[in-house]
Structure 1
Amino acid sequence: MPPPHPEPLSFNEVLDDIAYKADNDDTPDKLTLGEVLDSVGRRTYGPLLLVIGLIAVSPLTALPGTTWLVAVLTLLVAGQMALGMKRIWLPRKARDMSLPPEGVKGAVEKSRGVAKVVDTLLKPRLTFLSKPPFVNLVALLVIGAALITFPLGLIPLAPLAPGLAVVFFGLGMTARDGLWLLLGTLAVGGAFWLAFPLIF
């Protein structure tokens, strides 16, 4: 398997980097969230948001409290994105969260088919949406997706909507594809529509 990409630019490249870490970890019986996030880089927001979004829509969120934990992590990353921070800080407790290595490898392999299809749809377009000042608006929309997850967490499967929005934003930022950023905006709108009866 090839070494990690300096900067992943596609869904499959992000999966490659996670798989490489899972296969070549210094502690093969233990994999942490911090190690997975570091494998895709903490200087670029797109791959990081994509990984967090994939966790948000994965079976891992069936564990009590995981949905809200992922939402808090999303808030932290998006907040730093809005501030334009060059390197992303994450709290040690979140970084030390243990993940099953075999489960991570299995999830990567199961995602390959979807990634292959998605990558054929990704391409640089409307790239201005992935640059300042629009990228700050994207960050605010990701914050909105994270915040709306808290009330939606009370409804089974409802947090998938904001989680999917974060995946779209992650894909758009990774590939510099403004169309996927617009799809993320629509998904956030759908999440707020779902949450409206709970809030008002």
Structure 2
Amino acid sequence: MTDTPAPRVLLAPNPGRRLSEVLRDLQEGEGARVSVGDLVAGLRDRSFAPLMVIFAAPNVFLFIPGSSAFTGVPLMVLAIQLLLGRSDVWLPRLIADRAIERASFARLVRAALPTVERIERLARPRWWPGSYQLAERIIGLCTFVLAGLLSLPIPFANAGPALAIVMLALGLSERDGYWLVAGLAASAAAIALAAGMAIASIAAFVALVLS
């Protein structure tokens, strides 16, 4: 009788390099431009959490107008793969070929690193609720919903969902259940705020039409 091989789990009990170290390596790469495909190739098996931070960060740290329209869809693609339990990232060519100036990417990483490092000083592998596979799917589901909110044209409502994604990514990277719970709480707050703003906008529009 042969043993059934154990399923491969994305979240190993012991994390590898810290997320800030991975981001620094990407920042210091060669070439005038950096594409999303280059990032995935450089990250190898550490792709999900750093890419979540990279795509969410412009909406939190730099406040680039219109950035959510370009970052929401890649985040949704990553979220679907977490939901499906993939162990590595696959991106369609339309997303993988997107590139920015390396100087702009380095500026984004420099803006995000202080916050990432502050969280890392408080984060460590601990108290992971349930199985790692279940956690992957919960993070994937929350990220999908939050990325959908990022794609909506709701004024001043992008920072909350993006920050929640960063917190979930840190929980994912550091295997820290406390940060996972904090990210879930931030996700719930961001969803509630966005829903409230949407309802208020609809009510104001209806009142304007009926007046």
TM-score by length of structure 2 reads 0.76
Aligned positions of 1:51-70 closer than 5 A: 51-59=54-62, 61-62=64-65, 64=66, 66-70=67-71
Once residues 129 and 161 of structure 2 are traced to their aligned partners in structure 1, the CA distance between those partners, rounded to angstroms, is 23
1:31 aligns with 2:39: no
Q: 1:165 to 1:33 in 2, by over 3 A?
A: same
Q: 1:147 to 1:84 in 2, by over 3 A?
A: same
Aligned positions of 1:18-97 closer than 5 A: 18-21=26-29, 25=30, 28-41=31-44, 44-59=47-62, 61-62=64-65, 64=66, 66-97=67-98
Once residues 192 and 140 of structure 1 are traced to their aligned partners in structure 2, the CA distance between those partners, rounded to angstroms, is 13
Once structures 1 and 2 are overlaid, which stretch shifts more, 85-94 or 45-54?
A: 45-54
* TM-fit CA distance, 1:8: 5.0
CA contact (8 A) 2:40 2:47 kept: no
- Which aligned runs of 4 or more in structure 1 are off by greater than 6 angstroms? none
Between the aligned residues of both structures, percent identity stands at 24
Aligned positions of 1:100-119 closer than 5 A: 100-119=101-120
Structure 1: runs of 5 or more not aligned: 1-6
CA contact (8 A) 1:129 1:178 kept: no
CA contact (8 A) 2:18 2:174 kept: yes
Report the equivalent of 1:179: 178
Letter in 2 for 1:12: S
Report the equivalent of 1:17: 25
Once residues 85 and 110 of structure 1 are traced to their aligned partners in structure 2, the CA distance between those partners, rounded to angstroms, is 30
Once residues 121 and 105 of structure 1 are traced to their aligned partners in structure 2, the CA distance between those partners, rounded to angstroms, is 25
- Structure with bigger gyration radius: 2
CA contact (8 A) 1:145 1:162 kept: yes
Once residues 130 and 72 of structure 2 are traced to their aligned partners in structure 1, the CA distance between those partners, rounded to angstroms, is 23
CA contact (8 A) 1:50 1:169 kept: no
RMSD of equivalent CA atoms? 2.3
Q: Deviations over 1:159-191 (max 9, x none)?
A: 111111110111110010111111111111111
Q: Deviations over 1:122-147 (max 9, x none)?
A: 10112245702232122111111112
Structure 2: runs of 5 or more not aligned: 1-14, 203-211
CA contact (8 A) 2:60 2:163 kept: yes
TM-score by length of structure 1 reads 0.80
